[in-house]
Chains A and B, each alone.
Chain A
Amino acid sequence: MSDMPELPPPLATPRAGVAAAVGSRLAALLLGAACIAWTATPALHSGLAKTALVVAIVAVTAGALRLATADIPQPEDSFFRPGYVQAWLTFLALLRTLAWEETAAVALLWLEVQHTSRPWHTAALGAGLLAYLLTTHIAESGTDAGPLLRRQAGVLAAGACLLALGAGFAMIPAAAPGAGSAILRVLAAAAVIAAAALVLPG
């Protein structure tokens, strides 16, 4: 029986840990709300746009609730419990099972598509969505945001360039009328992304 190695000293005080956890969860909620507001303006009154907006709002709210209730333990057994406790546990299970963030991202993209083409607006939405997903991951894994972002800074910068390139491709006037030139622009943007992924070191 040998003694275990000593535990590393805590990196931060518990208060700082709680503040960081609350901060990252709040940041995820605010980024989701900002993405919704950014995409929804100017307001559209078509049925598909309204549906996409409602779905996005519900998904972002549910995602924020999931993060807020992440620390509530699930009891081992749920037999012989009062109805309201059973309902609460079912609600928690629903929050934790469904993919709310993916739903929100797809709904926001669909809402963006409903508007007329606005390349720089779409590029900003892409940056916002990526930030929303990254913040959600930081909040749910409890990881330290600084080192993580420093490690991924190069790729994120390259991604920002790709966003700008995509917006730039969309703004190039068509060489010829018809769908062919538009498809070509999309393919060119995709090719640039693929080339960047191949060139950048792992």
Chain B
Amino acid sequence: MIIPNGGSLPRPRGDSPAAAPAASLGASSQARAEEIAVTWRPSRHARRLLTLAAAALLLAVLTRNAALAGVAGPPALLLGMARAGAARGSDRGPGRPARVSVRIGLTAARLYEGEPAAVDVTVQERDGQDPADPAAAAGQPGPAGPGWRLDARHGARWTLEPGSGIEPGSATAVNGSAARFTFAVSRWGKRALGTVTLTLHDRWRLAEGRVTFTLPSVDCYPSPAVQRTRVVLSKLPNRLGEHRARVPGDGTEFTGVREFVPGDRQRAINWPASTRRGRLQVNTFAAERSQDVVLLVDATSDVGKPGESALDLGLRGAAGAARAYLDARDRVGVITYQWGGAHWLAPSLGRRQVYKIIDVLLTADTGYARGAVFGRLPRAALPPGSLVVAFSPLLDGRFVEALRDMRERGVALIVVDVLNADPPARRLFADVAARRIWRMEQDAIRFSLRELGVPVVPWDGVTTLDLPLAPYTRRPLVTRR
């Protein structure tokens, strides 16, 4: 799915459209245009003809066979024609352009994992001028004006060398002055699309000009997990929102009936109840509040298969949760916890916040930083009374300590366990024992968090987030200090 500029929120993972043909991906926006010098050299075909002519002539002289000299005739003739005629453009064929203008366009510079996109490449001769042309030397415009299309007789051929993590969706070699290559990115991150080589030929196909240029990078966002329900705290900040609070207020949800006191609105009088009791009764309603949600992503360890690793699941889960809570007009912030320190974004509202959050998520780096230290999480990123949803494999002891510290400070916390890989299984007794100890240690970490009142729910990345969070989305989450 393509993210429009200021458009609608991203659709969740699993709702992505099927691979679409290149034409259905829409028009592209120009990402880059540059002029590149063309380097001309003899083509492979020319080298073959030269070999044939030279071998035939040599054998003709050695064996004194004139028929072999005749065999050298056609290739020698072709080579001679190319040599004499290719350097100058004539009405019978184009010359060799010394420079070409290449334009690169992308249908989307930001996309989600697995989403099809396309890159368009177009070549034009530079202003239609040839340095060998006297008109060009005199400063006059070329025969077809600026930016004329490359002559079809140049036989332009594009070859795509996809970059790392780029999956081509179409043929990687295309003929013509313009080409469209479709691709998809399998894993989130900033990805270089690779390089494209443009090969031009002269009229005789005996000289070829090669131009190689680098394609721009794209930002691939993690596909957001599906989450339709939300965890709501029992104590909500005094701010207008959409969640039903326990205190009475001006919401729309009926909570009960009480006796009328001066100052109550007349329209709130419950006339049937007033008739039954003989005194005026008014309806009461629940207040509607919003909450602050902070998504905490543990990027200190990334285990598992690429594409299904703990960090992949964490980022997808965080993106899905951000979308779900922002849909409910909650203020959502994010903290990525990593070796180089924590990156964070203060809670805020609005659709734009989704993109800001995902941009922060993209900075997640699992690389080990020697000497890096992190203690407590930044206070500015954790407003009082906020709900913290942590996505972590719980493998880093310091992250677990940070969770305990937050809980002791009274923060409402829920942990989504994204560990979906085990140590490699071997038959050696020591390995089996180590694996068992590791498993017990992991169980102990989760048990200690539960004992502190921190719910830990496992998530495999395949099901929706609603399923593991179901026990906590049915009723408000009560947080005790």
Binding site for B on A (CB under 8 A): 1-8, 71, 73, 76, 99, 101-102, 105-106, 109-110, 112-113, 117-120, 122-123, 125-127, 129-130, 133-134, 136-137, 140-143, 147-148, 151-152, 155-156, 158-160, 162-167, 169-170, 179, 182-183, 185-186, 188-190, 192-194, 196-198, 200-202
Contact at B85–A202, with CB atoms within 8 Å? Answer: yes
Contact at A179–B64, with CB atoms within 8 Å? Answer: yes
Contacts known (A133-B49, A148-B205, A159-B73); A4 close to B68, Cβ less than 8 A: no
Contact at A109–B74, with CB atoms within 8 Å? Answer: no
| Interface residue B204 (Cβ < 8 Å from any Cβ of A) | yes
Chain-A contact segment, one of B171-179, B243-251, B341-349, B449-457: B171-179
Most buried by A among B52, B73, B103, B172: B73
Contacts of B153 in A (CB 8 A): 147, 151
Contacts of A193 in B (CB 8 A): 69-70, 72-73, 76-77
Contacts of B52 in A (CB 8 A): 102, 105, 109, 129-130, 133
Contacts known (A4-B30, A106-B51, A160-B74); A126 close to B56, Cβ less than 8 A: yes
Q: Mark B59-84, 1 if CB is under 8 A from A, else 0.
A: 11101111111111111111011001
Contacts known (A105-B48, A193-B72); A185 close to B66, Cβ less than 8 A: yes
Contacts of A160 in B (CB 8 A): 74
A/B interface sample: 13 pairs, CB < 8 A: A2-B30, A3-B105, A109-B56, A113-B59, A126-B73, A136-B48, A143-B205, A166-B70, A169-B70, A186-B60, A186-B65, A190-B57, A193-B72
Contact at A186–B61, with CB atoms within 8 Å? Answer: yes
- Bound Cα distance from A193 to B76, whole angstroms: 8
Contact at A7–B178, with CB atoms within 8 Å? Answer: yes
Contacts known (A142-B175, A152-B78, A159-B77); A183 close to B56, Cβ less than 8 A: no
Contacts of B173 in A (CB 8 A): 71, 142
What 7 A-B pairs are tightest by C-beta distance, nearest first? A166-B70, A202-B85, A159-B74, A162-B73, A126-B71, A197-B80, A182-B64
Give the number of residues in B that approach A within 8 Å (Cβ atoms): 63
| Interface residue B28 (Cβ < 8 Å from any Cβ of A) | yes
Contact at B28–A122, with CB atoms within 8 Å? Answer: no
Partner among A106, A159, A170 whose Cβ is within 8 Å of the Cβ of B66: A170
Contact at B67–A117, with CB atoms within 8 Å? Answer: yes
Contact at B59–A151, with CB atoms within 8 Å? Answer: no
| Interface residue B29 (Cβ < 8 Å from any Cβ of A) | yes
Partner among A2, A110, A148, A200 whose Cβ is within 8 Å of the Cβ of B77: A200
Query: Chain B's nearest CB lies how many Å from the CB of A26?
Result: 19
Contacts of B84 in A (CB 8 A): 197, 202
- Bound Cα distance from A122 to B55, whole angstroms: 14
Query: Chain B's nearest CB lies how many Å from the CB of A35?
Result: 12
| Interface residue B239 (Cβ < 8 Å from any Cβ of A) | no
Residue of A nearest to B60 (CB): A186
- Bound Cα distance from A27 to B44, whole angstroms: 19
From 444 to 481 in chain B, residues with beta carbon under 8 angstroms from any chain A beta carbon are: none
Contact at B69–A190, with CB atoms within 8 Å? Answer: yes
- Bound Cα distance from A106 to B75, whole angstroms: 14
Contact at A143–B155, with CB atoms within 8 Å? Answer: yes
| Interface residue B120 (Cβ < 8 Å from any Cβ of A) | yes
Partner among A2, A71, A196 whose Cβ is within 8 Å of the Cβ of B29: A2
Query: Chain B's nearest CB lies how many Å from the CB of A104?
Result: 10
| Interface residue B8 (Cβ < 8 Å from any Cβ of A) | no
- Bound Cα distance from A8 to B65, whole angstroms: 52
Partner among B81, B175, B203 whose Cβ is within 8 Å of the Cβ of A143: B175
Partner among A117, A197, A198, A200 whose Cβ is within 8 Å of the Cβ of B65: A117
15 more A-B contacts (CB under 8 A) besides A3-B29, A167-B70, A201-B92? A4-B105, A6-B27, A71-B173, A105-B48, A129-B71, A137-B48, A141-B205, A143-B155, A143-B201, A165-B70, A170-B67, A186-B61, A190-B72, A197-B80, A202-B84
Query: Chain B's nearest CB lies how many Å from the CB of A50?
Result: 18
Contacts of B93 in A (CB 8 A): 151
Contacts of B43 in A (CB 8 A): 137
From 164 to 187 in chain B, residues with beta carbon under 8 angstroms from any chain A beta carbon are: 164, 172-173, 175-180
Query: Chain B's nearest CB lies how many Å from the CB of A190?
Result: 5
Contact at B63–A113, with CB atoms within 8 Å? Answer: yes
Contact at B122–A5, with CB atoms within 8 Å? Answer: yes
| Interface residue B90 (Cβ < 8 Å from any Cβ of A) | yes
Contacts of B178 in A (CB 8 A): 5, 7-8
Query: Chain B's nearest CB lies how many Å from the CB of A115?
Result: 10
| Interface residue B351 (Cβ < 8 Å from any Cβ of A) | no
- Bound Cα distance from A174 to B178, whole angstroms: 59
Partner among A156, A182, A186 whose Cβ is within 8 Å of the Cβ of B74: A156
Residue of B nearest to A105 (CB): B52
Contacts of A183 in B (CB 8 A): 61, 64
Query: Chain A's nearest CB lies how many Å from the CB of B218?
Result: 15
| Interface residue B45 (Cβ < 8 Å from any Cβ of A) | yes
Contact at A201–B155, with CB atoms within 8 Å? Answer: no
Contact at A164–B205, with CB atoms within 8 Å? Answer: no
| Interface residue B47 (Cβ < 8 Å from any Cβ of A) | yes
Residue of B nearest to A180 (CB): B64
Contact at B74–A3, with CB atoms within 8 Å? Answer: no
- Bound Cα distance from A196 to B81, whole angstroms: 10
Contacts of B55 in A (CB 8 A): 105-106, 109
| Interface residue B157 (Cβ < 8 Å from any Cβ of A) | yes
Query: Chain A's nearest CB lies how many Å from the CB of B185?
Result: 16
